[in-house]
Amino acid sequence: MPQSVAGPEIERLIQLLARMPGLGPRSARRAALQLIKKRDTLLGPLAEAMRVAAERIVVCSSCGNVDTSEPCTICRDATRDPSTIVLVEDVSDLWALERSGAVNARYHVLGGVLSALDGVRPEHLNIERLVERASDPAVKEIILALNATVDGQTTAHYVTDALRHLGLTITRLAHGVPVGGELDYLDEGTLSAAIRSRTAF
Ligand SMILES: [Zn+2]
């Protein structure tokens, strides 16, 4: 056991930071030190922002998004197309799509994907509420914006089956060559999916 170089308060800060995605013990120590050095301009405001977030953040009971209001800002936004729901695995995917500005619809956050390996079954996901929302006559299309992984695609098939009786248009994101991508660098799966999903030019 290496000897601790700092008091328990600092050790605790490092241990908590090390739990963040992308931060190991080494970068957690660097982050902690940076916070401590910038106590007034960074540590204080960050602690306050975290306290407020912990207090006020709620999960939207309609779509599963996280926000400080219920229903969330997106669900309350009357300028959004009510005929389309974009299905995503996680809030991070919702944020990514919002950053792209590609779609002005509402979302539905599944909260994961089906996985036999991790024991994730349909009842663990936000599917029932999706079927409920999709049953609204205003809804015409569900866009499956799920990851192009085996579990993501298994989930896409399951959700499609669960929605089939509603007779909606169900679409999924195109699979293919990324913008700026060079064919030589693509894996075979991406390349063959791109050929299969080719469009008229
Ligand atoms: Zn919402």
Residues 30 and 96 in one domain: no
Examine the pLDDT at 2 and tell me if it is beyond 80: no
Give pLDDT tens digits for 25-49.
999 999 999 999 999 999 999 999 9
Report the separation in Å between the CA atom of 70 and the middle of ligand 1, taken as the mean of its atom positions: 7
Average pLDDT over residues 171-175: 92
Report the separation in Å between the CA atom of 74 and the middle of ligand 1, taken as the mean of its atom positions: 6
What's 42's domain CATH number? 1.10.8.420
Report the separation in Å between the CA atom of 160 and the middle of ligand 1, taken as the mean of its atom positions: 21
Q: What pLDDT is attached to residue 199?
A: 85
Those residues whose beta carbon sits under 5 angstroms from the ion ligand 1 are 60, 62-63, 65, 71-72, 75
Residues 32 and 83 in one domain: no
Give pLDDT tens digits for 98-115.
999 999 999 999 999 999
Tokens, residue 187: 């894996």
**Mean pLDDT score across all residues of the chain:** 93
Q: What pLDDT is attached to residue 1?
A: 53
Give pLDDT tens digits for 128-158.
999 999 999 999 999 999 998 999 999 999 9
Give pLDDT tens digits for 39-75.
999 999 999 999 999 999 999 999 999 999 999 999 9
Report the separation in Å between the CA atom of 109 and the middle of ligand 1, taken as the mean of its atom positions: 9
Domain that holds residue 14: 8-56
What's 113's domain CATH number? 3.40.1360.10
Q: How many domains would you assign to the chain? A: 2
Report the separation in Å between the CA atom of 21 and the middle of ligand 1, taken as the mean of its atom positions: 25
CB 106 within 8 Å of CB 85: yes
**In angstroms, rounded to a whole number, what is the distance separating the alpha carbons of residues 138 and 74?**
17
Helix/strand/coil (H/E/C) assignment for every residue in 162-190? HHHHHCCEEEECCCCCCCCCCHHHCCHHH
Report the separation in Å between the CA atom of 67 and the middle of ligand 1, taken as the mean of its atom positions: 8
Residues 97 and 43 in one domain: no
Q: Within its chain, how far is the Cα of 22 from the centroid?
A: 16
Cα separations in angstroms, 25 against 4, 5, 10, 11, 55: 13, 14, 13, 11, 28
